Amino acid sequence: MPDTKKSPITTYKGGFFSDLANRIKLVLRLLGDRRVSPLLKAIPVGSLVYLLFPDIAPGPIDDAAIIWLGLYLFVELCPIEVVEEHMRAIAGTLPGQWHDPQDTSEDEIIDAEFKDEQ
């Protein structure tokens, strides 16, 4: 069986309020993206409708839990490449990988002499 781990796409590295703001920005950007299915866009809209009319669901269902679950499912069910693109745009980063210059192996070191031509 291949060892394929799905990386979590919804992790943030900030405080509670910055994470909440980033999540709201991500959901709004995904709602405006044409590559996201209109059926998926119904999930956060439905959770907001529940916020306005909380008596739709019977029983002691917490409003915050319904909204959190709706937004979480929406982000998780959206195409991963679209979510990652929007997360990079929110974070203001460019795609690529970090390379630590202190962590070089002997194979990567180029030995050469410098000549100043004047």
Overall pTM surpassing 0.85 (yes/no): no
Q: What is the pLDDT of residues 25-36, one digit of tens each?
A: 999 999 999 999
Residue 113 pLDDT exceeds 50: yes
Q: What is the pLDDT of residues 37-59, one digit of tens each?
A: 999 999 998 888 887 776 666 66
Angle between helices 16-32 and 63-77 (to 10 degrees): 60
The whole-number pLDDT of residue 1 equals 46
Buried b (16+ CB within 10 A) or exposed e, 54-78: eeeeeeeeeeeebeeebbbebbeeb
